[in-house]
Chains A and B, each alone.
Chain A
Amino acid sequence: MTAGARRVVITGIGVVAPGSMGREGFWDMITAGRTATRRITFFDPSRFRSQVAAEVDFDGRKLGLTAQEVHRNDRFVQMAMVAADEAVADSGLRFGVGGAPDAPEPERVGITLGSAVGATMRLEDEYVAVSDAGRHWLVDPRYASRFLHQALVPSCGATELAVRFGAHGPATVVSTGCTSGIDAVGYGSQLVEDGDADVVIAGASDAPISPISMACFDTIRATTGNNADPEHASKPFDARRDGFVMGEGAAVLVLEELGHALERGAEVYCEVTGYANRCNAYHMTGLRPDGVEMAEAIRQALDQGRTDADEVGYVNAHGSGTKQNDRHETAAVKRSLGPAAQSVAMSSIKSMVGHSLGAIGSIEIAATALAVQRQVVPPTANYEVPDPECDLDYVPKIAREHKVDVAVSVGSGFGGFQSAIVLARPTRRTP
């Protein structure tokens, strides 16, 4: 089979995001331009340089998880399970034994879950106990809990989803740092394209708001030091930006082969028409200002769907709010879209929900899919002071009704990974 011969659509979306509840709560929040960044409440942040984050008020039990599911799983897995439940319910697919006549064959259902840092929160909490807060290098097993192997190896997240939906197809966790959420959906799409699955439950989850994660970004000054005004701390593309705001959350999408979706009369949000990833082979954390490799990823992803630059109505930016990222990304969009970049709407929802590392890529794909479906683009909150090096239309503060036939969501991460995914209205004609 030729790669890419089968077409992939999104038929279900589930979101666990800061400051909101579920997919619709998330959409209402980001289109209202409301921010969920606040002073950290999970632990006392006073000894840290960056003391703000976008936290989710999350209670797995109240969202349908059993006591044992909560007990054995790190927060990142719990959030993935909740987001997946919503996505699958939204898709109308009924999995499992004695399922509906239109239920997919369990062998034809795959799982791709992205996560940058896996169960880091649980690993750290447990470490505090077994090392007695760093006193003992030879950690004490008598204080260890039962499920640490799962915490060490994040593929447990894919297992939980496979078991939950009885999915016997290919399953994996994708862990490419901050592009994990795009890459997991991209790989999931490839599984469908290549004929290895008809349905893939694809998404990403991360829960990194813990002392070790905050400390490691503190030392390299990647996160904001703007602790005085947490609600306005995340300022992508604004000249005053001073680093990203840590976030957490999950989003899961139901990816489905087009014919499979049409046959059962599923509602289609959009089509995934392209995905590409490139590395900058430059630096683990640094970015060259020219954006060459991200531009290459965008171009490749557009080419797969035979999309012209001027068809792109919306770019969902990585927009982390670091000095170098926003400049790098602006250059990449100009380089890849050419003159069309001047008229494209481009925004960063990290201004509102923070940067949840690997999860954010899938959360942003969810936002982008909703933008394509609803023809509304979410804004960049807190954007006030333009930066001459970032001179595109960042949709300041207020959501906009806008024609979006094709949208691109991009991501950039430690390790040099640059990813782009292209979503298109199902009504768009393929040339």
Chain B
Amino acid sequence: MSRLLVTGMGVIAPSGIGAEEHWRTILRGESRIRPIEGFDADLYGVTLGGQVLDFVPEEHVDGRLMVQTDRWTWMSLAAATLAAADAGYTSPEDAYATSVFLASGSGGNEFSQHEIQGLWARGPKAVGAYQSIAWFYAASTGQVSIRDGYKGPSGVVVSEGAGGLDSIGWARRVVRRGTPAVLVGGTEAGLCPYALLCQTTSGRLSTARHPDDAYKPFDRRANGHVVGEGGAILLLEEEGAARARGVERVWGEVVGYGATHDAFHHEAPAPDATQYARAIRVSLADAGLTPDDVDLVVADAAGTPELDALEAAAIGAVFGPHGVPVTAPSSWTGRLMAGGSALDVATALLALRDGLVPPTGNVEEPVPEHRLDLVRETRTADLDVVVVLARGFGGFNSSLVLRRYREQEAA
């Protein structure tokens, strides 16, 4: 079977523009959760967010394209450029040889709020020509495909926070069917008044006013998460194609994927972690690995007591108590919905490269009943296999297995 390699990554995240800046920020243990700028979020009982404050879209996106697109798409366009540059990837002669398969949770929020505002305040003629192409969930995928000339089989998945992993799951099907390169991952930009209001109704956001008190995954004082923006886009290539073009650096190999659904309730998670644990087992079986082979788990880290306990139960069911190091890098940035799981994949690959496990931030008192080996200080480790977990609101569970790349397949 052909092997699937990650050959490029582009990060646009609260922790940095570009993978290296992101990596330095979280290794330093520097939280990017701050009071939300740009509007008075206090109205919504939420004051903190993970914004990408140093993102200057003009530096990444052509002016004509900027006016046609939402902030979420600017970030996708920027991340796609960074990923291709990182991989040294230029559009091959066969335009069908590259696909774009991104996840989106919430679409073009701020752009759309402006247009609906105009419509209701001033009438239909106030709606601009770009609303029809800026807000729908496929806008970023379409714009990346058009700008970069990629004509391969492309798609958009929506599974809330699990989307970043699910885009990789679907990309594997595309590669199996003969397309050698796929851009995956995604970004999200939900920090504008209406989108934030919508997210507060999930009941899962922290209302804490100080970053030290907010998003505290696996801590006794866990009280919800903080919304962040941004994400990551990765270039996946089939091994033969990557080598044929003389790829110089491989971040890692995608070796397994599993997805399940709780199918329990329209918003409450299943009271046991059976399906979540099963997603992990399916991904390991898919990879031909056992729990003992896994060196690190990057957790979904929902940051509510109930959801954290369920994740700890799933990890415990597969790996045993304190059975594997667990880290939650999203604690530094907030949760970026579909972009967050994509960013966690980038972080996992950086960890594989450097043999460094990044810490989980903002944890003072881990819940002992979780029985997790929660990494709270940067740790050196000989990493070979990393599992990345993600959940989506409503019961989506996804698990991705990454492995350090060796030209000879490990026995």
Contact = CB atoms under 8 A, between A and B. Distances in A.
Interface of A: 3-4, 47-49, 72, 106-107, 111, 116-118, 123-124, 127-128, 130-131, 133-135, 137-141, 144-156, 158-160, 162-163, 165-177, 180, 183, 187, 190, 194, 211-212, 214-220, 222, 276-285, 293, 296, 413-417
Interface in B95-136: 95-96, 100, 104-107, 112-113, 115-125, 127-129, 131-133, 136
Nearest to A116: B136
A216 B115 contact: yes
Given A194-B176, A281-B149, A175 B136 contact: yes
B200 interface: yes
A319 to B, nearest CB: 20
A187 B195 CA distance: 29
Contact of A137 (B148, B155, B193, B393): B193
A138 B266 CA distance: 29
A167 B263 contact: yes
A296 to B, nearest CB: 7
A116 B138 contact: yes
Interface string B140-152: 0111011011111
A416 B261 contact: no
B204 to A, nearest CB: 8
Given A128-B120, A144-B198, 17 more contacts: A3-B177, A127-B113, A134-B120, A137-B113, A138-B193, A153-B160, A154-B137, A155-B394, A162-B263, A167-B263, A172-B158, A173-B157, A173-B159, A175-B104, A183-B155, A278-B151, A281-B145
Given A175-B156, A216-B115, A139 B193 contact: yes
Contact of B96 (A170, A211, A296): A296
Contacts of B275: 168
17 contacts: A47-B123, A106-B263, A116-B136, A134-B116, A139-B193, A148-B201, A149-B199, A149-B201, A152-B106, A159-B396, A163-B263, A168-B263, A172-B396, A175-B136, A218-B127, A413-B138, A414-B138
Interface string B183-224: 000000010011101111110000000000000000000000
Contacts of A111: 261
B71 interface: no
Contacts of B169: 170
Given A130-B194, A281-B145, A284-B142, A168 B278 contact: yes
B378 interface: no
Interface centre among A130, A134, A155 (most CB of B within 10 A): A155
B266 A417 contact: no
Interface of B: 39-40, 43-45, 68, 95-96, 100, 104-107, 112-113, 115-125, 127-129, 131-133, 136-139, 141-143, 145-146, 148-160, 163, 166, 169-170, 173, 176-177, 190, 193-195, 197-202, 259-267, 275, 278, 337, 392-396
B339 to A, nearest CB: 13
A279 B153 CA distance: 7
A402 B116 CA distance: 47
B124 A211 contact: yes
Given A148-B201, A168-B261, A279-B100, A138 B39 contact: yes
Nearest to B45: A141
A149 B198 contact: yes
A155 B194 contact: no
B361 to A, nearest CB: 25
A149 B262 CA distance: 18
B154 A285 contact: no
A264 B378 CA distance: 55
A417 B396 CA distance: 26
Contacts of B119: 134, 211-212, 215
Contact of B170 (A127, A130, A163, A187): A187
A17 B201 CA distance: 32
A415 B198 CA distance: 26
Given A134-B118, A144-B201, A155-B394, A160 B131 contact: no
A297 B44 CA distance: 46
Contact of A163 (B43, B148, B266): B266
Nearest to B40: A138
Sorted nearest first, the 9 A-B pairs with minimum C-beta distance are A415-B142, A134-B121, A134-B120, A159-B394, A175-B137, A152-B198, A216-B131, A149-B202, A173-B158
Contacts of A72: 266
Given A155-B396, A174-B157, A277-B153, A417 B142 contact: yes
Contacts of B195: 152
Nearest to A213: B132
Interface centre among A106, A130, A159 (most CB of B within 10 A): A159
A387 B36 CA distance: 56
A278 B132 CA distance: 21
A306 B142 CA distance: 30
A118 B143 CA distance: 20
A279 B138 contact: no
A117 B153 CA distance: 21
A135 B117 CA distance: 8
A287 B377 CA distance: 54
Contact of B159 (A131, A155, A413, A417): A155
A405 to B, nearest CB: 24
A219 B131 contact: yes
A280 B151 contact: yes
Contacts of B40: 138
Nearest to A418: B151
A415 B121 CA distance: 29
B105 A153 contact: yes
A139 B151 CA distance: 40
Contacts of A47: 123-124
Contacts of B107: 118
B278 to A, nearest CB: 7
A117 B198 contact: no
